[in-house]
A and B are shown apart, each in its own frame.
Chain A
Amino acid sequence: MKKLLLVMLVALVAVAAMAQVEPEYRIDPYEGKPGGTLFLGSIGTGPRTFNPFVAQETSSTDITDLMHQSMFNSDNTGMPTIPALATEWWFSEDGRTVYFRVRQGLKWSDGHPFTIEDVRWTFEDLYFVNEFTRNGNATYKDAQGFLPEVEVDGNVISFTWTEPNVWSFRAIGWGQIMPKHVLDEYVQAGNPIEAWTLADWDKIVGMGPFMIESFTEGVRTVMRKNPHYWIFDEAGNRLPYLERINYEVVGSQDVLLLKFEAGEIDIMGPRAADWPRIVEQAEEKGWVYGVGGPGLGSDFITFNLGHPDPVKRSWFRNVHFRRAIQYMMDKESIIDTLFNGLGTAIYGPVSPSSGFFNPEILEAFPYRYSITRARLELRRGGFDWDAQGRLIDSDGNRVEFDLSTNAGNITRETIAAILVDGAAKLGMKINYAPADFNLLVGKLLTPDYDAILIGLTGSVDPGSGWNVWRIDGGLHSFNYPPEYNPDVIDPDIYEAFDWEKRIHEIFVRSVGEVDEQARWDLFAEFQMIVAEYQPYVYTITQNYLYVHKDSVHLANPHPNPAAGTLWQIHGIWKD
């Protein structure tokens, strides 16, 4: 009888132990020392909201990104390869379904259990509703415009589209998971956009490494380590190593530099203009500094290929004309003037820092600065010069057009000035007038312009540019189809080019291309087409610069634009 009782007891204990899920923590190979405060500066007026699906500018997302986690993280080339809240993910045979295995037994920063229901709720009830987030739900839809079916099976969640959909898979993997137990009341009330304003800084719950400890609007945000964080080092320390992060609001780069020099800030990204000053002091003050690759975004010139004036339209549509513009731009002198030589000439929509960059475009289309080459291209395009050396087209019209950029952006204004200079050497007249940003956007999107110099935020994955490159995209500003704005674009004038249609096709197909190499090849072809036809004439970008105190040990061995100094922040430690 006693024996039987004992056996039953043992069995009971065993069952209880099995029901208690072993937390699936992640172990990272860092060897740091816990403790300390990291001092950082945020340029501008500080965060505007703590709501991650409302926040638009980096002063807000710098903070919210620390408080939340997604199913996978990027490695230090910006590729989504590191398991985070999901331990693994895979596609079904037909590629229409993607599965994520979600970690079990983890806790939110407030100690509430984190479950797969939080993941399902985050997507199905929050991110998939167009009105509930500032960016809308377009990234989650497949090419047919359908949102995925979501299914939960044990610790695996699956998303099924009507056709393979890599782009949305990535968006889901990057999506920050939100706590249902905190935000569901907002979702039920239909106003999640009003959740987590600045006044709610102490109510935020997340899976990220740091949470807000105190916040003074316009002054600073102090963050403290999440006591329930789910990543450990090999020695068994619960990460992050840092006890606190102090984000100080700093009005300008000048003051940030002064503060860094005075030792009040630990890590900063200096301007190229300040670089010599940094290098000069580095040894004496014990700073570590470095140059990463070229930045991900780039400024480019867009020409209005659907211009209502037939003369201008014929120039802008002439590929030789656009190539000539590419040739006549003295990028090296722009880089020297603007960035102390710490910049890179860019010839396509994908930055050389991205894993998707196709180096072959540089050999196939070596657009080096050359006025002679530019003249040659113009001659090939049917242009000529009159007796005074002024450029004229085949009908004898003098080549003269307007160029605008947003006033106050020194980089763009300098590029424009050098462009005007280069054009003068070719006998081309560019009437340059900077304009207010809002005015410029209005002109670009109407469209009502000759040429505009502007930039867009870049990212590692070229797929993020769908809104620019698809013919039906809202930012397809060089050649909008008539359906975009029937009041302005005359269907008789409109012409879709073969290369343009091919790019459109690449973007549509890349969404469904599950095979990584095939997808890479598609984007390689895309870069080749852009290099050949120059729908946008790309200019330059600044290289990624960073400097930090030697007492700070970064987790990223080579900070770069795709993964900066704060990459894997839970692995950063201080002496």
Chain B
Amino acid sequence: MLRYIARRLILAIPVLFGISILAFMIISLAPGDFIDNFRMNPSISREKIESLEREFGFDKPVIVQYFLWLGQVLRGNFGYSFSYHVPVFSLIWGRLGATLLLSITALIFSWGIAIPLGIYSALHQYSFSDQAFSFIAFIGISIPNFFFALLWLFMAARTGWFPIGGIISLDFHELSFFGKIGDYLWHVVGPMVTLGTAGLAGLMRQMRGQLLDQLRQDYVLFARAKGMPEKVVIYKHALRNAINPIVTFFGFALSGLLGGAVLTETVFNWPGMGRLVIDALQQQDLFLVMASLLLSSLLLIVGNLSADLLLAWVDPRIRYRFG
């Protein structure tokens, strides 16, 4: 098992390498660079622009820029953000907590609701409650996130039940330890529901469809004919087969943990990575974009790996060759 994991991780290195070349080239080939905002400033002279180009290394060919960057990365230095003047990872770490808090709670929210509802709908196909759940879930998927977020904030402003965006209250530093946790949770509800409802419908329909497929299989008919209790038929046999694609889905969900919530973050003033990275992209803050891309790629790789391992655990038919 460990050998299998090790092999997958070693294989990930060339993948990351390839991603870094592609990403670096595409960003560099895109028109303009970080200095464009300086170029449009009426009070900055051409000499200064040229000295900035040298300072940021834009006067060198892209290939040279890439290898200079790569050399630094291999030594553990991911470079400075052009606009913040601090090492990129100190920025990313600062925002990682908020991002993970939001994406993990949203993940728990949507999976915690979608899976049971999907199972329930499959078992009560075409009943009133099945239709009702589907209807609600589709409302969730069809309202754009930013609009849902604004509606939520409007509700929060009118009722005062929830904060109008943000991650902590004004008096956060005076709160007790549990008070602080409560404060975080109180603030996370809005963005969590916004994000969670968007993913709900797809997952629920997937679960429902998979389970219905399995319930129509001969082995289910056979098990029922044999007189096996209905609960065992469904939960021990059908569900276990139905959950397979959902687990793969989960691996993908892991990779989306870091960057999947830009609009929601913006509307809710959530100080997460999404906004940081979008800003960096617009400004062409090269090293910051590269670092976040690499981190997201790493998560995708880890997500896929853990999905595969989960599959092996869920489905005894799957055996990885560990050699």
Residues in chain A within 8 A of chain B (CB atoms): 44-46, 48-49, 51, 54, 56, 130-131, 134-139, 193-194, 197-199, 214, 216-220, 246, 248-252, 254-255, 258-259, 261-262, 264, 436-439, 441-442, 445, 454, 456-457, 464-468, 474-475
Q: Is B142 an interface residue (CB 8 A)?
A: no
> Are A474 and B267 CB-contacts (below 8 A) given A130-B48, A251-B275?
no
CB distance from B285 to the nearest CB of A (A): 10
- In Å, the complex CA distance between A248 and B284 comes to 26
| In-complex Cβ contact of B51 among A136, A198, A264, A474 (8 A) | A136
CB atoms of B32 and A130 under 8 A apart: no
Please name all residues of chain A whose beta carbon is closer than 8 Å to the beta carbon of B95 when the two chains form the complex: 217-218
Q: Is B39 an interface residue (CB 8 A)?
A: yes
- Taken residue by residue from 160 to 172, chain B's Cβ proximity to chain A (1 for < 8 Å, 0 otherwise) reads as 1000111110100
Please name all residues of chain A whose beta carbon is closer than 8 Å to the beta carbon of B265 when the two chains form the complex: 251
| In-complex Cβ contact of B45 among A216, A437, A467 (8 A) | A467
Please name all residues of chain A whose beta carbon is closer than 8 Å to the beta carbon of B267 when the two chains form the complex: 251-252, 254-255
Given contacts A45-B271, A49-B85, 10 further A-B contacts (CB under 8 A): A44-B279, A130-B51, A216-B271, A220-B170, A254-B153, A255-B153, A258-B157, A262-B160, A438-B284, A467-B42
**Interchain pairs with CB closer than 8 A, number:** 150
> Are A474 and B45 CB-contacts (below 8 A) given A199-B90, A255-B164?
yes
CB distance from B105 to the nearest CB of A (A): 18
Residues in chain B within 8 A of chain A (CB atoms): 30-33, 36-49, 51-52, 55, 83-86, 90, 94-95, 98, 150, 153-154, 157, 160, 164-168, 170, 173, 265-271, 275-276, 279, 282, 284
CB atoms of A131 and B51 under 8 A apart: yes
- In Å, the complex CA distance between A137 and B36 comes to 19
Please name all residues of chain A whose beta carbon is closer than 8 Å to the beta carbon of B39 when the two chains form the complex: 441, 445, 474-475
Please, could you name 19 A-B residue pairs with CB atoms under 8 Å apart, sorted by A? A49-B84, A130-B47, A135-B41, A135-B43, A138-B47, A139-B43, A194-B85, A218-B276, A251-B268, A255-B164, A255-B267, A258-B164, A264-B164, A438-B284, A439-B31, A441-B32, A442-B31, A474-B39, A474-B49
Nearest residue, chain A, Cβ from B48: A136
- In Å, the complex CA distance between A4 and B95 comes to 73
CB atoms of B266 and A251 under 8 A apart: yes
- In Å, the complex CA distance between A259 and B33 comes to 35
- In Å, the complex CA distance between A248 and B269 comes to 9
- In Å, the complex CA distance between A250 and B271 comes to 10
- In Å, the complex CA distance between A1 and B40 comes to 78
CB distance from A183 to the nearest CB of B (A): 15
- In Å, the complex CA distance between A438 and B286 comes to 14
Please name all residues of chain A whose beta carbon is closer than 8 Å to the beta carbon of B86 when the two chains form the complex: 197-199
Please name all residues of chain A whose beta carbon is closer than 8 Å to the beta carbon of B37 when the two chains form the complex: 56
> Are A51 and B47 CB-contacts (below 8 A) given A255-B153, A437-B32, A466-B42?
no
CB atoms of B32 and A439 under 8 A apart: yes
| In-complex Cβ contact of A438 among B30, B266, B269 (8 A) | B30
Please name all residues of chain B whose beta carbon is closer than 8 Å to the beta carbon of A198 when the two chains form the complex: 84, 86
- In Å, the complex CA distance between A219 and B265 comes to 12
> Are A251 and B84 CB-contacts (below 8 A) given A214-B173, A436-B31?
no
CB atoms of B83 and A56 under 8 A apart: yes
CB atoms of A468 and B42 under 8 A apart: yes
CB atoms of A45 and B276 under 8 A apart: yes
CB distance from A194 to the nearest CB of B (A): 6
Please name all residues of chain B whose beta carbon is closer than 8 Å to the beta carbon of A56 when the two chains form the complex: 37-38, 41, 83
- In Å, the complex CA distance between A134 and B44 comes to 9
Residue from B45, B47, B84, B271 whose CB has the most chain A CB atoms within 10 Å: B45
Residue from A137, A248, A259, A454 whose CB has the most chain B CB atoms within 10 Å: A259
> Are A136 and B44 CB-contacts (below 8 A) given A251-B266, A439-B32, A442-B31?
yes
Nearest residue, chain B, Cβ from A37: B170
CB atoms of A475 and B47 under 8 A apart: no
| In-complex Cβ contact of B167 among A139, A197, A219 (8 A) | A219
- In Å, the complex CA distance between A140 and B52 comes to 18
CB atoms of B85 and A54 under 8 A apart: yes
Please name all residues of chain A whose beta carbon is closer than 8 Å to the beta carbon of B275 when the two chains form the complex: 45, 218, 251
- In Å, the complex CA distance between A217 and B269 comes to 12
- In Å, the complex CA distance between A51 and B86 comes to 12
Nearest residue, chain A, Cβ from B84: A48
- In Å, the complex CA distance between A49 and B45 comes to 22
CB distance from A445 to the nearest CB of B (A): 6
Please name all residues of chain B whose beta carbon is closer than 8 Å to the beta carbon of A136 when the two chains form the complex: 44-45, 47-48, 51
Residue from B37, B49, B95, B157 whose CB has the most chain A CB atoms within 10 Å: B157
- In order of increasing CB-CB distance, the 3 nearest A-B pairs are A438-B32, A218-B271, A136-B48
> Are A251 and B165 CB-contacts (below 8 A) given A218-B271, A258-B153?
yes
> Are A442 and B85 CB-contacts (below 8 A) given A214-B173, A467-B45?
no
- In Å, the complex CA distance between A275 and B33 comes to 37
| In-complex Cβ contact of A475 among B42, B51, B55 (8 A) | B42
Nearest residue, chain A, Cβ from B172: A216
Please name all residues of chain A whose beta carbon is closer than 8 Å to the beta carbon of B271 when the two chains form the complex: 45-46, 216-219, 249
- In Å, the complex CA distance between A438 and B40 comes to 10
CB atoms of A219 and B45 under 8 A apart: no
CB distance from B179 to the nearest CB of A (A): 16
> Are A216 and B165 CB-contacts (below 8 A) given A130-B47, A439-B31?
no
Residue from A214, A249, A456 whose CB has the most chain B CB atoms within 10 Å: A249
> Are A138 and B44 CB-contacts (below 8 A) given A56-B83, A198-B84, A255-B267?
yes
- In Å, the complex CA distance between A457 and B83 comes to 19
Please name all residues of chain B whose beta carbon is closer than 8 Å to the beta carbon of A467 when the two chains form the complex: 41-45
CB atoms of B40 and A456 under 8 A apart: yes
> Are A464 and B43 CB-contacts (below 8 A) given A45-B275, A56-B83, A248-B166?
yes
CB atoms of A457 and B170 under 8 A apart: no
- In Å, the complex CA distance between A48 and B165 comes to 21
- In Å, the complex CA distance between A442 and B98 comes to 36
